[in-house]
Structure 1
């Protein structure tokens, strides 16, 4: 009995040391295990949906590996460090967005990329992180809930990069940047009257946005989303085939390499759709 108690204590001690090791890395090992399981499931599904094209699987595995390493590195960064460097990150992101206007690489009617040494990247992706960091750093040094002046400056911090991204044009990313910064404002305790004013302003600006700012293909995407049947063989094709694939597979799917919409090439981009 004494030997059993000793072994139980040693086992408990080893578990405690194991947990401390993960906590020292600022990683929740349970969430990490779930993340790896989700990534593995995604890789298997991608390989099946792409018609066994190994190229897509290899690329996805590389992205997953880089993402995991990046997660481990970022997890070691202290919040104070991020707060201190938020302005520099934001400024660098703005400079890169301006550089896209003059030196950007175009593709499919959009100029969103910069090319450095054969490597292409989108500066707008950086702003998805830089904008909420900058707004939170700015508001964190001020009285909360934010007063009118702080709200105006915060909105300007959000709107400038969002407008630059929208000019590329990349409406989806511009809206994500605006939402990311706006969510920080909301969490900072934005007063209800400011929230009401923002909603009212958005409603009043919607007609102007639709008739003068949105391009024809952007309007078509919105209309197709609302009614894909209006253009079954054109703009609505992907949505119809995607929903058909989901309906045919149900909750459990049709099986390994058995998806009719993907295997029979009904989906133009089966590895993403």
Structure 2
């Protein structure tokens, strides 16, 4: 998997995302066009961007490094600029978690679950690793409630039917722009109690259509030879997926 072209060049986060656009800030006006569309560059007249003999050049306010700025010249930009987001063509890869499985187990028979001990939770890892170690301390299968902080019986394991990085999932935004997305609420829940009785076995939300949320993978690179195939496959579907403005509350 290739690294983002900006990261490879030596740029840092705040070169593209200014102070009012990071750490949960509400301003999300950062756009590739700010630095790569000639008309917008000239209109903004940013101090950090100067015209040189070789073209536009950006000087990082944070590091002082200088970067040449390629502007959009390919005919595809004229054709798709108002229809397709930049990342829909320029993202080299993206996460695609197909069917996330959340499994709660209240018992301490972890042998068949040991491969899930590294699912990203320190608490889960500690309980499973310690209880599978013959010399380890026996730990009650419990973890903290992330809302109250109280310790509750049972540990939650997480796995995926399929986790891919090559496919770029696309969907239409509410204003008709093709954007990169990630599935939302593609969850399957199971519960096995302390007596190893299965109460829930891969139950999932009841809904007619899969939900998608917008996602910006920071894996930018040249669009390459296959951007047309990516768009052709998307528009060739019988029914185009649409990004959800908000998640259901019921």
TM-score range, shorter chain: under 0.3
Higher relative contact order (CA 8 A, sep 6+): 2
Structure with the bigger percentage of helix: 1
Report the TM-score, using the length of structure 2 for normalisation.
0.20
Structure with a larger share of its residues in strand: 2
